[in-house]
Amino acid sequence: MADNPPISYLPVPGPDEVPEAVSALWDKAEAAFGFVPNVFRAQAVNGEQFLAWWRYFNLLVNKAGHLPLAERELLAVVVSALNRCTYCAVSHGAALRVFLEDAVTADLVAVNWRQAPLSPRLQAMARYAELLTRHPEQVGQSDLETLREVGLGDHEIVELVQIVGMFNMTNRVSSALGMVPNDEYFSQGRA
């Protein structure tokens, strides 16, 4: 294995080749996590577009919202596993392990959510995420009623739909650019 294998199919810009806001985000990530997520570097080829994506992604996945963070990460992992997006399944699988404090359940979600011991609420959310990911043309109003039956209101449903949509897009970008997960993700949440 090479000492520094490429993290993307495209050349990755250096700090002097990106907008100041991108290099500031890299510095913030390094301070917070001890590393810069490869997705931050690989997408920075188009710095302003990366920043626009990051603002929306950060709002949906990291900021206070209508769904708990663990449920958002579960949706991220379900969608990423269905799309076979290595980068997102690994990186968000790490976050799910941390939030659940249960590496076994998180790993099962990353392979086949149906085999994970999920509550009825999480099962309904995962089922809807799978339907919207694999068969968006089949989604109908009755699918929303199933979500309501497990306690989701309108705000939670819209957030769920937005997260599933965000990860379907992000999975395709990550896979198309051949993004490689940071090594740090593989051990997170396993202690």
pLDDT, one tens digit per residue, over 54-79 is 999 999 999 999 999 999 999 999 99
Amino acid at 173: V
| pLDDT at residue 128 greater than cutoff 80 | yes
Asked: is 69-176 a CATH 2.60.40.10 domain? The reply is no
- Give 57 or 4, the one with higher predicted confidence: 57
Q: pLDDT tens digits for 84-113?
A: 999 999 999 999 999 999 999 999 999 999
Residue 9 burial (C-beta neighbours within 10 Å; 0-12, 13-18, 19+) = exposed
Q: pLDDT tens digits for 181-191?
A: 999 999 999 97
Full-model pTM: 0.95
Using CA atoms, how far apart are residues 77 and 96, in angstroms rounded to an integer? 8
Among left, alpha and beta (phi > 0; psi -120 to 50; other), residue 118 is beta
Task: Please choose, from the candidates 165, 164, 174, the residue with its C-alpha nearest in 3D space to the C-alpha of residue 85.
Answer: 174
| pLDDT at residue 131 greater than cutoff 70 | yes
In percent, how much of the chain has pLDDT > 70? 98
Query: Hey, where are the domains in the chain?
Result: 15-62, 69-176
Mean local confidence (pLDDT), 43-49: 96
Q: pLDDT tens digits for 145-175?
A: 999 999 999 999 999 999 999 999 999 999 9
Residue-level pLDDT at 96: 98
Using CA atoms, how far apart are residues 182 and 175, in angstroms rounded to an integer? 15
| pLDDT at residue 5 greater than cutoff 90 | no
CATH number, domain 15-62, options 1.20.5.810, 3.90.660.20, 1.10.230.10, 1.20.120.450: 1.20.5.810
- Which pLDDT band, with edges at 50, 70 and 90, does 3 fall under? low
| pLDDT at residue 1 greater than cutoff 50 | no
Task: Please choose, from the candidates 7, 170, 154, the residue with its C-alpha nearest in 3D space to the C-alpha of residue 75.
Answer: 170
Question: Among all chains, which residue has been given the structure tokens 């940071």?
Answer: 182
Residue-level pLDDT at 4: 73
